[in-house]
Amino acid sequence: MFGCLVAGRLVQTDAQQVAGDKFVFNLPDYENVNHVVVFMLGTVPFPAGMGGAVYFSFPDPVGGQVWQLLGFITNDKPSAIFKISQLKPGEGGEHPFGVMTVPRLASVAQVGVSIEPLEQLVQQTPVSGATVCAVDSFMQFTQKMLDSLYNFSSSFAVSQSQMTPNPSEMFIPASSILKWYENFQRRMAQNPNFWKT
């Protein structure tokens, strides 16, 4: 139902369901993470009139979890980028994870998603410093993703004379990936939401 991307390096789609309407992701090495992206997988939509409040919790060796509201996702807004690098442990307010014992490791932070009514979600105030401008962050994320794809695929580049015949393997010319990369960048610059149409 949900996924969590940590700083462009770790994608998790195995949220642990801790209650009928609550899910958590564990974030090891959270000290080196600036942003997390929480997204719907597209397999199961939220029920009508519902969305997902996104919370963050630092590990607390003393006990008692403090959750901080980051924002929310909905069927109409199926992903969001949150900045967690400026959050501080111990700051937080009311949250739906308070009455539950959520299994955790002492050195692992957690991202929680709580399914709640939309009218309740829009009235909540996220912790300051967590929200990131959606278009700017989306543009940055997309640029990093494009760079990563191009660099990754280019690392496998070989000249035609270096290729060894393999009838079961398909090869894509590097020029076609570069052309896609340039077209995608151009379209993003013209309209960051072009992919929605």
What does the pLDDT look like over 26-57, one tens digit per residue?
Answer: 888 778 888 888 888 878 889 999 999 999 98
Enumerate residues 6+ apart whose C-beta is below 8 A from 43.
Answer: 1
Task: Please give the model's pTM, rounded to 2 decimal places.
Answer: 0.62
Extents of the domains making up the chain: 2-132, 135-190
pLDDT-derived band at 125 (thresholds 50, 70, 90) equals: confident
**Range in 26-30, 61-65, 142-146 with the lowest mean pLDDT:** 61-65
Residue 144 has pLDDT above 80, yes or no: no
Give the number of other Cβ atoms within 10 Å of residue 193's Cβ. Answer: 10
Residues 109 and 107: their CA atoms lie apart, in Å, by 7
pLDDT-derived band at 110 (thresholds 50, 70, 90) equals: confident
What does the pLDDT look like over 97-109, one tens digit per residue?
Answer: 655 555 555 577 8
Residue type (1 letter), 4: C
196 close to 138: Cβ distance less than 8 angstroms: no
Q: What percent of the chain has pLDDT over 70?
A: 73
What does the pLDDT look like over 145-180, one tens digit per residue?
Answer: 777 887 788 888 888 888 888 888 888 888 888 888
